[in-house]
């Protein structure tokens, strides 16, 4: 629209930056895991629990934090979230034992819970329906870029200053972000001085839905149940890339520390490109074929991801395995923006709660995945078994996509 301001793209830059910071803080520990294990004398199973402590807490507090965003607004809630998780990112650099590390990572996960539902809710309020897939794609591209650059940032810090310093450095990023966020963002775009009438009309062009508050016990109805189960499968596979991938590349595939950082970065950059591509693809398909077709990308993407991961587990060639892992991560992330857009399709004004519910399941999968891998390696010395399990879970996620109908709101499905 001629003469429209572009404040919503400033919001998108804020969410993009926070997504980067979120995954820098989250992936840092996987790159530093070897150094942490040696200093604190941790086994593979103990390190698996360290990885899962974050996701268990994240899953437990995801719905309450998403609900807070629906009631208090993302401005207050995101500020609290980012300050909390930044404090416990820095606290990770102060741990002295296995127990203190578990506690620090659990509290880190509790603090970060709700970050993406609240970012997603802010995008839904500031972007029209036709732009939400792309907006979410940009946001999640930031998360993958954050994960991709972390190994490149952490490796030299480990070499010259030690693993503790990396957590202290990265913890300051969120504090700086929260200051700028509090000063700039407003929950209601109509009250923001940078939004003019023309842009406000764009934001409000989607048909408004009558808001009927969704009781928490009513969340587990179709189609949210199918969506949550599908997202569990997605999260199960995702957390391999965020936790154990560096160890797999070094211990099984024989890559050096430097090569491991490069391959890890390559895998997550492929996922970043797929995130934005999937966002644009779902917007295109919705415009051309409607919501049911446009939001069904996961039915194809997740099985392709699973097949690629199985190929990575079975190939004897290390370079081929790295390429297959990149394809698996990229195919999985093609449906990422779609899933979050569905939360707004079916949730309306309760989208923060709905997306929190969906993401809870992903983090339950993310909590289980590192444990399965850690115990498989410790008990049987096998990496192939847990990778093949993850491949099967991804294929199952594709099947669970088929019953999802984003044209029905939660109230209409009751």
| CATH of residue 312 | 1.20.1250.20
Is 413:214 a contact under the CB 8 Å cutoff?
no
CA distance 260 to 158: 14
**Residue 178 domain flag:** yes
CA distance 189 to 199: 9
CA distance 308 to 324: 5
In 184-332, DSSP assigns E strands to none
**Residue 213 domain flag:** no
Rounded mean pLDDT for each run of 10 residues along the chain, 414 residues in total: 85 96 87 90 91 91 87 94 95 96 95 91 88 89 89 86 93 95 95 93 69 50 82 95 91 91 92 93 92 93 98 96 97 93 82 85 92 89 92 97 85 60
Which ranges constitute the DSSP H helices of 95-196?
98-112, 115-126, 129-160, 163-184
- Residue 5's Cβ-side half-sphere holds a number of Cα atoms within 13 Å equal to 17
| The pLDDT of residue 2 | 59
CA distance 275 to 334: 5
Token code pair at residue 14: 């804020």
262: closest CA among 155, 162, 142? 155
**Residue 391 domain flag:** yes
Give the angle subtended at the CA of 60 by the CAs of 165 and 400, to the nearest 5°.
110
For residue 230, how far is the Cα from the chain centroid?
14
CA distance 392 to 386: 10
Interaxial angle between packed helices 44-72 and 98-112, expressed in degrees from 0 to 180 and rounded to the nearest 10:
30
CA distance 56 to 51: 9
| The pLDDT of residue 268 | 92
CA distance 110 to 107: 5
Q: Indicate the burial class of 156 (C-beta count within 10 angstroms; 0-12, 13-18, 19 or more).
A: exposed
**Residue 24 domain flag:** yes
Contacts of 220 by beta carbon, 8 Å cutoff, 6+ apart: 228, 357
**Residue 212 domain flag:** no
**Residue 208 domain flag:** no
Q: What is the DSSP letter of 244?
A: I
| The pLDDT of residue 152 | 85
User: What is the DSSP secondary-structure string of 60-111?
Assistant: HHHHHHHHHHHHH-HHHHHHHHHHHHHHHHHHHTT--SHHHHHHHHHHHHHH
| The pLDDT of residue 159 | 85
| The pLDDT of residue 208 | 46
Collapsed DSSP state (helix, strand, coil) of residue 403: coil
363: closest CA among 17, 26, 15, 123? 26
CA distance 178 to 275: 25
- Total of domains in the chain: 1
CA distance 368 to 373: 9
Residues spanned by the domain of 380: 7-203+219-413
Is 101:95 a contact under the CB 8 Å cutoff?
yes
CA distance 279 to 244: 27
**Residue 303 domain flag:** yes
**Residue 1 domain flag:** no
Q: Indicate the burial class of 319 (C-beta count within 10 angstroms; 0-12, 13-18, 19 or more).
A: exposed
Q: What predicted TM-score, i.e. pTM, was given to this entire model?
A: 0.81
Q: With left for phi above 0 and alpha for psi between -120 and 50, is residue 381 left, alpha or beta?
A: left
Give the angle subtended at the CA of 236 by the CAs of 405 and 267, to the nearest 5°.
105
| The pLDDT of residue 210 | 42
């Amino acid at each position: 629209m001629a003469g429209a301001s572009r404040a919503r793209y400033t919001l998108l830059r804020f969410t993009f930056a926070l997504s980067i910071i979120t995954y820098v803080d989250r992936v840092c520990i996987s790159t530093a895991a070897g150094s942490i294990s040696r200093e604190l004398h941790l086994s593979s199973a103990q390190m698996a629990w360290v990885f899962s402590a974050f996701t268990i807490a994240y899953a437990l507090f995801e719905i309450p934090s998403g609900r807070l965003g629906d009631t208090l607004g993302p401005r207050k809630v995101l500020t609290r979230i980012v300050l909390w998780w930044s404090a416990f990112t820095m606290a990770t650099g102060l741990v002295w034992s296995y127990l203190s590390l578990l506690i620090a990572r659990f509290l880190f996960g509790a603090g970060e819970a709700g970050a993406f539902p609240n970012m997603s809710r802010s995008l839904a309020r500031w972007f029209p329906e036709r732009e939400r897939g792309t907006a979410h794609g940009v946001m999640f591209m930031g998360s993958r870029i954050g994960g991709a650059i972390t190994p490149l940032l952490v490796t030299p810090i480990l070499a010259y200053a030690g693993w503790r310093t990396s957590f202290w450095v990265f913890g300051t990023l969120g504090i700086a972000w929260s200051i700028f966020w509090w000063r700039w963002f407003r929950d209601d775009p109509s009250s923001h001085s940078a939004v003019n009438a023309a842009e406000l009309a764009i934001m409000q062009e989607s048909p408004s839905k009558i808001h009927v508050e969704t009781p928490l016990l009513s969340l587990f109805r179709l189609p949210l149940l199918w969506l949550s189960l599908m997202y569990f499968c997605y999260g199960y596979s995702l957390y391999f890339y965020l936790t154990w991938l560096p160890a797999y590349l070094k211990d099984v595939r024989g890559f050096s520390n430097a090569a491991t950082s490069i391959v890890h970065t390559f895998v997550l950059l492929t996922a970043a490109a797929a995130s934005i591509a999937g966002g644009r693809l779902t917007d295109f398909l919705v415009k051309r074929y409607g919501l049911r077709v446009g939001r069904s990308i996961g039915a194809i993407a997740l099985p392709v991801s699973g097949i690629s991961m199985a190929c990575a587990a079975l190939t004897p060639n290390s370079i081929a395995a790295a390429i297959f892992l990149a394809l698996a991560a990229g195919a999985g992330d093609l449906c990422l923006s779609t899933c979050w857009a569905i939360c707004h399709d079916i949730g309306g004004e309760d989208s923060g709660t709905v997306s929190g519910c969906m993401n809870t399941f992903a983090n339950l999968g993310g909590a289980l995945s590192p444990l399965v891998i850690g115990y498989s390696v410790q008990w049987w010395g096998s990496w192939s078994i847990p990778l093949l399990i993850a491949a099967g879970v991804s294929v199952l996620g594709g099947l669970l996509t088929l019953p999802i109908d984003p044209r029905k709101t939660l109230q209409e499905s009751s």
